[in-house]
Chains A and B, each alone.
Chain A
Amino acid sequence: MKYHTPRTLSEALKILSGGEAGIIAGCTDSFVTGSPAAGRRDLLDLTGIGALNGIARTEAGWRIGATTRWSQITAATLPPAFDALKEAGREVGSVQIQNAGTIAGNICNASPAADGVPPLLCLNAEVELTSVRGTRQLALDAFITGPRQTALAPDELVSAILIPHPPERARAGFEKLGSRRYLVISIAMVSAMVTADDAGQITDARIAIGACSPVAMRLHELEKALTGQDIAHPAIPTGSFDALSPIDDVRANAAYRRDAAAELCRRIIPRLQPAGKRAA
């Protein structure tokens, strides 16, 4: 067994193409269920590769390096549309976890309750996948294919999350519901990004729900229904949450999850009114 600590992406890709090594980064998931050594695979640690870490503004939008840690994201200066991502980052486990866990690890682990996924869905995030064969991009909802399943090929790694420039006036928020304050896996969560005009009319709405379906999902029907509504008093049509398919587990039952997701949605949208208007 070997522990690889490449300094460059090309070095890492070469090791990965050998088929012997499993990728690790923050290790906040991979070290949880026993030691990764039990799998007897070589370990490929990506965190020493400078090019995979950090947040940069590009012409097309924003590029968040794969091994960027949650604490880097919550500390970064980003447009208000990223507030939901930052709020989600502050809800990932604990400070200890945020100092280690990476954004790409969060999506590659593909937990239905991954805190990072709903805000990234609202940001229309794309996943940049790199291998010795080249680079490709997939929309986040195409990348995560099921619980604990992704479209990552065996020789590929996630090199970055790419986010197109969000609408200038967009505001975003994130609500996580759990049975305790910290270190909690969501019962349900909602991420919203809403753009409203000066009159408070919604011009663009993006809503994503986590922990209520095998993969977190956008509610496109609801988003359409919200467009044109008053942000302070949005009416949510019945049936808006029919697309969800929550499960019963130790944290909550399915009926409650659906209920709570709807309630969180009703609350989060008025919260995203432009600052001066919220007092009403």
Chain B
Amino acid sequence: MSGQEITLTLNGERRATPAHPGERLSAMLRERLDARDVKIGCDAGDCGACTVLVDGDPVCACLTPAHRADGRKIETVAGLLERDPLAQALEARFLKGGAAQCGICTPGMMVSATALLRQNADPTEDEIKDALGGVLCRCTGYRKILDAVHPGRDKGGDRQPDNIDPGGPGHVGEAIPRLDGRGKTRGSERFGDDVAPPGTLEIRIIRCPHDHAGFSIGDTGKFVEKTSGIVAVLTAADVPGDQDFGVIPGFRDQPVFARDTARFRGEAVAAVVGEAVCMAEFDPASFPVAWTPRPAVTDTDAATAPGAPVLHARHAGNLMCKGFVKTGDAEHALAVADIVAEGHFTSGFVEHAYIEPEAGYALPEGDGVTVHACTQAPVMDRESLAAILNLPESAVRIVPAGVGGGFGAKLDLSVQPYLALAALKTGKPVRMAYSRSESMQSTTKRHPSDIRLRIGARRDGTLSGMAFHGVFNSGAYASWGPTVANRVPVHASGPYRIGDYLAEARGIYTHGPPAGAFRGFGVPQAAIAQEALLDELAARLEIDPLEFRLKNVLENGVTTVCGQVFDQGVGIGACLRALRPAWQRERVAAANFNATASGHFRRGVGVASGWYGCGNTSLPNPSTIRCGITSKGEIVLHQGAADIGQGANTVIAQIFATALGVPVDRLRILGGDTAITPDAGKTSASRQTFVTGTAARLAGEALRAKLLARVNAARDARIDLTPEGIQIVDGSGRHSVALDPAAADDDGYVLTACETYDPPTEPLDENGQGAPYAQFGYAAHIAVIEVDTGLGTVRPLRMIAAHDVGRAINPLLIEGQVEGGIAQGLGMALMEEYLPGRTENLHDYLIPTIGDVPPIETLIIEEADAHGPYGAKGLGEHALIPTAPAILNAIRAATGLSLRRVPVTPSRLRAALKER
């Protein structure tokens, strides 16, 4: 490919470079002009992450031909932050206000907002929305971004100025800005595709275009020979170890490369490795493979029908597994109940739609391979790769890259095996980044659900019996399907007192994309059904829906459906009670609106609860935190909890600093590189703040004890980090701690500590009775919505979210989790459904934009938990679980319609309104 030399001014500097016909400006900037602060999310203008200014105007660099930069002035976020005071002030507001989470969209947001502020120093909220409407964010829910862009609001939402005190020690309870924030605002954090040096070999996957097909691969040797720039082809024959991978023992059924049969559209059958310039033009259709499409079963009804093709021989009837919980006699209780509500609820695949597609870089190192990739679970990646590569774990090193959003899907392997296999086969460094459509086709989804539920109640408003039968579509492979099947029956009761309960969940294989972990592991789907029926019962009993819930909520000392009794820490009642004032106010306001408004608009207010057990279900779930003090007095924290935007790098450090008794900004924090940092477990199941946080507290306390012992100081002594070294101050005076370099270990630490925490759980018996979790977190949301009955559209007007977090380690990050979870729940309720072959991009698959998320008020409840660090509980999944049911209940309040399928698209709602 011939390049034509162009010259441009990049961030104030004149640069010359060849431009290739058809090349995207984004690629040229990133690969030849060292501007990796320009992030790639979709290559289609759908996400805006790559926004740059061309002669001052924001455009998507992915849709701009490289040639068009000739003679132009190009500005990226890095340049704006060097030279533009507006951008610098904006960055300060982004950091202080918590407007960046994972950071992959942040450069696009910052660039777009700077362009706005240059034109308009005092924009209205609508003007900010118009300016940022082209940049998608999947983490924040946008509200903190809106606040940060406005120059008049530099305190981060409603927060009082004194709550943000960057000068303080940053201990537990302080709403400090995230410690790794600047890498995000400046675009300097290295995400999966930012690690590789330019010019390394690249990999492209050959994927099955059918839901189910046989295939045969032609002469790959000849293909390599005749295709210039291609150096290798990988197929199943190149996998030296385990052919199949997976996350659950006994369910490792997903092949690295399909063998003979591909079971879903997008499944990998081969990989092509070649030189960068050739791979840019590589056409996968040129690869020698012949497909034989076969009959496919793509939903659970078809997959369980008699005679349906069986995906995995060991699983007759395509039944992957079952989960079951039973207590009391549900059928009897339902029979004697005064009223019974019942329903059949369904939902489709939901895509995680993080803005960073999976990407990474690998190189042969020592006797093995090092893989840099975005991941939620570095140590699981290492175990899986070692098995696939037939190498000892010590020969596989995982260096987690920045993670541009995960939400569950980056727990599973994606690019890692291809990178590792290609690096070992070629002996050279290799890189790959999934295209947006590859990411959507091949990585995991939320399980489609088909739920039949009955709940009974007595006239006095107490619940009487609940029977839940859920079928979950796990797609072609198990992934986290068994976890979903186990978790759902434990949680399907909601946080309520139900003595007579039966819940069964079945995971079914189909010819669809593997369904895996996604914020809530099936619980959000179950909550939609359960909370809808509670509202219907309340309506029939003529009891206020919030009071009806309060009458039945779990309290301390009340037995859960698994027979578990918590004598402390049950905060759902507190959440619902905290919502009472808003509930009453909003219901009156909506009633007044509906009484006076003419025309098509009807308002409604809905409430829903949620609970979620933090950590693995009845399984070991340890986290280890290691720390040390160097001879120079530097305090180093090995923080292995993957920060996927939620803030583990900050929260774990805050806990550790509190326990040790030093300011958080004096820590040097090392990440989850498996060569230097012990296993802090996976970032999933809302476990990091709880489990790794407890390990961090223990490690901080242990290191403190060792430090104080050096000078025999009292337990309440103060640690002073002075330019002269570490000093300890107690009643007996000030003592310098001698840190002898000769006493340092191989890592340079004179003092170290390493602590592990594993939450206490007990196995579940055949009826699901036991102690599945050491703690639950609790939440309740109110949704206020407006329905346009003429068009069937729903406009959320406001959300009020009460969350029992035990102890708010960092209130700013808590609000961020809540707002982001609500945005995802809103998407699930109103617009999101992944259809293989039809919505494999971010313009056909819709996630909420900045114009779709209403104001959110977060009420933090602190019902301390005895196990969590300083009383803290997990939060990640809880933020999403009550949102969709609250919205559906609000639609019901506005229209009288009980909708049984999400998403409630305008088309579906209008059809229901017409049938009414």
Nearest CB to that of B833 among chain A residues? A250
With an 8 Å Cβ cutoff, the count of chain B residues facing the other chain is: 64
Write out the residue numbers on chain B whose beta carbons fall within 8 Å of the beta carbon of A267. Answer: 790
CB of A24 within 8 Å of the partner chain:
yes
Say whether B906 contacts A95, CB under 8 Å. no
**B22: contacting residue among A38, A179, A184, CB under 8 A:** A38
Say whether A259 contacts B910, CB under 8 Å. yes
CB of A133 within 8 Å of the partner chain:
no
> Smallest distance from the beta carbon of A38 to chain B beta carbons, Å?
6
Write out the residue numbers on chain B whose beta carbons fall within 8 Å of the beta carbon of A263. Answer: 790-791
CB of A54 within 8 Å of the partner chain:
no
Nearest CB to that of A30 among chain B residues? B63
Which of A32, A38, A95, A177 has the most CB atoms of chain B within a 10 A radius of its CB? A95
Within 8 A of B (CB), among A44-72: 45, 47, 71
Say whether A96 contacts B792, CB under 8 Å. no
How many A-B contacts are there with CB distance less than 8 Å? 162
CB of A183 within 8 Å of the partner chain:
yes
Residues 278-316 of B, flagged 1 when their CB comes within 8 A of A and 0 if not, give 001101000000000000000000000000000000000
Known contacts A38-B22, A97-B45: does B134 contact A32 (CB below 8 Å)? no
Residues 192-233 of B, flagged 1 when their CB comes within 8 A of A and 0 if not, give 000000000000000000000000000000000000000000
CB of B805 within 8 Å of the partner chain:
no
Residues 174-205 of A, flagged 1 when their CB comes within 8 A of B and 0 if not, give 00010111111101000000000000000000
Say whether B68 contacts A47, CB under 8 Å. yes
Say whether B64 contacts A27, CB under 8 Å. yes
> Smallest distance from the beta carbon of A271 to chain B beta carbons, Å?
13
> Smallest distance from the beta carbon of A180 to chain B beta carbons, Å?
5
Residues 127-165 of B, flagged 1 when their CB comes within 8 A of A and 0 if not, give 001110111100000000000000000000000000000
**A182: contacting residue among B792, B833, B849, CB under 8 A:** B849
Say whether A27 contacts B65, CB under 8 Å. yes
Write out the residue numbers on chain A whose beta carbons fall within 8 Å of the beta carbon of B907. Answer: 187, 251-253, 256
**B134: contacting residue among A3, A33, A180, A182, CB under 8 A:** A182
Say whether A2 contacts B905, CB under 8 Å. no
Within 8 A of A (CB), among B60-93: 60, 62-65, 67-68, 70
Write out the residue numbers on chain A whose beta carbons fall within 8 Å of the beta carbon of B258. Answer: none
Instruction: Give chain B's interface secondary structure class.
Output: loop
Say whether B70 contacts A96, CB under 8 Å. no
> Smallest distance from the beta carbon of B74 to chain A beta carbons, Å?
14
Residues 775-791 of B, flagged 1 when their CB comes within 8 A of A and 0 if not, give 00000000000000011
Nearest CB to that of B788 among chain A residues? A263
With an 8 Å Cβ cutoff, the count of chain A residues facing the other chain is: 48
Residues 93-108 of A, flagged 1 when their CB comes within 8 A of B and 0 if not, give 1111101100000000
Known contacts A180-B831, A260-B910: does B905 contact A252 (CB below 8 Å)? yes
Write out the residue numbers on chain B whose beta carbons fall within 8 Å of the beta carbon of A37. Answer: 1, 20-23, 280-281
Say whether B134 contacts A93, CB under 8 Å. yes
Within 8 A of B (CB), among A64-102: 71, 90, 93-97, 99-100
Write out the residue numbers on chain A whose beta carbons fall within 8 Å of the beta carbon of B67. Answer: 3, 5, 45
Write out the residue numbers on chain A whose beta carbons fall within 8 Å of the beta carbon of B911. Answer: 253, 255-256
Say whether A183 contacts B68, CB under 8 Å. no
> Smallest distance from the beta carbon of B253 to chain A beta carbons, Å?
30
**A181: contacting residue among B54, B68, B129, CB under 8 A:** B129
CB of B859 within 8 Å of the partner chain:
no
**B24: contacting residue among A31, A90, A184, CB under 8 A:** A31
Say whether A180 contacts B57, CB under 8 Å. no
Report which B residues bind A (CB closer than 8 A).
1-2, 4, 19-24, 43-46, 48, 51, 54, 57-60, 62-65, 67-68, 70, 112, 115, 129-131, 133-136, 280-281, 283, 790-793, 830-831, 833, 835, 838-839, 843-844, 846-852, 905-907, 910-911, 914
Known: A3-B22, A181-B850. 12 other contacts (CB 8 A): A1-B21, A27-B64, A28-B63, A95-B112, A95-B115, A100-B63, A179-B831, A182-B134, A183-B46, A183-B133, A252-B905, A259-B914
Report which A residues bind B (CB closer than 8 A).
1-3, 5, 24, 26-28, 31-33, 35-38, 42-43, 45, 47, 71, 90, 93-97, 99-100, 177, 179-185, 187, 250-253, 255-256, 259-260, 263-264, 267
A–B Cβ pairs within 8 angstroms, 30 of them = A5-B70, A24-B65, A27-B65, A28-B60, A35-B23, A35-B280, A36-B22, A37-B20, A43-B22, A45-B65, A71-B57, A94-B134, A95-B58, A96-B48, A96-B59, A97-B63, A97-B134, A177-B791, A179-B906, A180-B846, A180-B849, A182-B133, A183-B46, A183-B134, A252-B905, A252-B906, A253-B911, A256-B792, A260-B910, A267-B790
